[in-house]
Amino acid sequence: MEVRVLRNLFDLSGKIAIITGGSRGLGLQIAEALGEYGAITLLLARKQTELDDAVAHLGALGVKAHGYPADLSKPETIGRVFREIVKDHGRIDILVNNAGTSWGSPAEEQTPEQWAKVMDLNLTAVFFCSQEAMNLAMIPQKQGVILNMASVEGLLGHHPSQAGMVGYSAAKGGVINMTRALAAEWAKYGVRVNALAPGYFPSKLTNAVIEQYEQFFLHNTPLGKLGGPEDLKGPALLLCSEAGGHITGQTLVIDGGTTII
């Protein structure tokens, strides 16, 4: 029997990896990890200046990266940018659905516009980005990996001492179950679909909440710390590489133990 060197299971050399919301925060952290192991990282985000900065940052680390400006809350934009990517690179091996937004308000005050903003980017765009990647590349290739960014907010009721986030929680719960459904349906094409569910990590999306509730989060996290700049890299690499080749439909929680107590 052939014995494979373990590190080769993590090798992503030459793989084309799309990371939505990849210009900063958790998306950029994942891009660093996949790029370090050889993937060509394609970053999708709304602002060209942030994409340029992220591409330069990754380039300084020796990571091949390209930026594609796109507002993924608009379905017509999703089709256009994914067709452009396939035209430029010929394939899509990995899709990381990371782009997201939130809106804090009491549930009884949530407006249709606020609800739609969160759902359009956090749930609907995840599905249609996945669909485009499948139809344009992964079905013809008979292989691929999709990694969705969920959240512990999709697993728990939001604590009543904090500002309400019903739309965000509902969307992330939808991502978790959509991950299961797509994994079951698309396994026949050789495609794996998994999710990460982070706890609180400092980012532009969470900084205001962390500033207000940091001591609460630390008190309720067994490891006693927030997520750090390296904490998503290993889990993302596992699920995007052959090292996770027999894992599909799963949600891996990275929260320092918050959800176990």
Sign, CA torsion 181/185/187/191: negative
Name which of 195, 211, 171 is nearest 250 in CA terms: 195
User: Helix or strand or coil: residue 3?
Assistant: coil
Catalytic residue among 37, 68, 168, 213: 168
Cα–Cα distance for residue pair 231/54, rounded to 1 Å: 19
User: Helix or strand or coil: residue 64?
Assistant: coil
| E strand or H helix at 122 | none
Name which of 118, 133, 147 is nearest 33 in CA terms: 147
User: Which phi and psi angles does 193 have, rounded to 5°?
Assistant: -130, 120
Catalytic-residue membership of 168: yes
Close Cβ partners of 232 (under 8 Å, ≥ 6 residues apart): 26, 29, 30, 33, 196, 198, 201, 254
How many other β-carbons are positioned within 10 Å of the β-carbon of residue 146? 28
Q: Which residues are catalytic?
A: 168
